[in-house]
Structure 1
Amino acid sequence: MKVWPLFALFSLSVFAYEPENDQVLRFEHSPFKDVQLQCERDKHIVPKRSELQLDNYALLAADNGERVAIITLTNTAGGQRIFNQDHIVAVMADCARLFPQAFEIRLAPRQQTSLQIHFGRTLQPVLQLISSQ
């Protein structure tokens, strides 16, 4: 029958991609999430002012240095707003500040959403995310 070759092909495609262990994202503990950091380095790098509120976030990292965050935002304005990489900054362990990779999302008034943002590869872990609110 022709079912066996299809099953074999499907089985190979399921196991064809297996990420390297150093590429697997893992949640990172965020002990500085609610702490006022006094980092002076790159203090001039600040998020763009907006009426978007960063409600919560979780940090993820891979052994290869990939840094990612899952964020929840709320548009506190009475009208539609656009949120992009200029509205959030990561404070790194060496006190450097880093904008995420480019993204853009539109939010209706009072709308809340969650999304994943990427900071690329870096040796320094993310200590905290900051927004203008």
Structure 2
Amino acid sequence: MNKALVIILLVLSWATQADSINALNVDRAVPNSMHLSFANDSNITPKKGDFKIVNYVLMSNEEGERWAVITLTNLSSGNRELGEEHLLALFADGSRFMPMEFKLGFKGNETQSVTVSFADYKFPILSVYSSNDL
């Protein structure tokens, strides 16, 4: 009976520890006033759109997953759809990548937050931007 209880406790302890390794940690909330100047030799830019980033919070875990909670405003008075091609992340090595595929509908002049994944990457995200934030 005691051996079975010890084994169950060890398994539960290991499962809890495994979940905490995958947990995302907030890296930081970033003000829009931060200026970075990495070369963009490939001229990678987000798709033109009617979205402006209000703010964002960067998150990651020890396994290299990169996420961001981004609050955006639709600058148009009409309905618009935000997709991954409207956003780019700038990483600490100067690389730029779009988030994983997503779609989010906006009403005219609406502000919403969305959580997006930038997959796994060795370097942290330094900033996230849209065509209206350049």
- Indicate the residue corresponding to 2:68 in structure 1: 69
How many angstroms apart in 2 are the aligned matches of 1:55 and 1:108? 16
Note closer, same or farther for the CA distance 1:32–1:40 as it changes in structure 2 (3 Å cut): farther
- Indicate the residue corresponding to 2:123 in structure 1: 124
Backbone CA RMSD of aligned residues: 2.0
Q: Report how far residue 41 of structure 1 moved.
A: 4.1
How many angstroms apart in 2 are the aligned matches of 1:73 and 1:115? 8
1:1-133 equivalence runs, <5 A: 18=16, 19-29=18-28, 34-133=33-132
Q: Percent identity?
A: 28
Note closer, same or farther for the CA distance 1:101–1:116 as it changes in structure 2 (3 Å cut): same
8 Å CA contact 1:33–1:127 kept in 2: the answer is: no
Number of equivalent positions? 119
8 Å CA contact 2:58–2:69 kept in 1: the answer is: yes
For normalisation by structure 1, the TM-score amounts to 0.81
Structure 1 segments of 4+ aligned residues over 6 angstroms from their partners: none
8 Å CA contact 1:53–1:131 kept in 2: the answer is: yes
Deviations 1:54-82 (A, max 9, x none): 11100000000000000111111010001
8 Å CA contact 1:23–1:62 kept in 2: the answer is: yes
Q: Report how far residue 29 of structure 1 moved.
A: 2.7
Matched letter for residue 86 of structure 1:
E
Matched letter for residue 101 of structure 1:
M
How many angstroms apart in 2 are the aligned matches of 1:93 and 1:37? 10
Matched letter for residue 120 of structure 1:
A
30-39 vs 95-104, greater mean Cα deviation:
30-39
For normalisation by structure 2, the TM-score amounts to 0.80
Q: Report how far residue 97 of structure 1 moved.
A: 0.3
How many angstroms apart in 2 are the aligned matches of 1:32 and 1:93? 17
Aligned residue for 1:29, secondary structure, equals strand
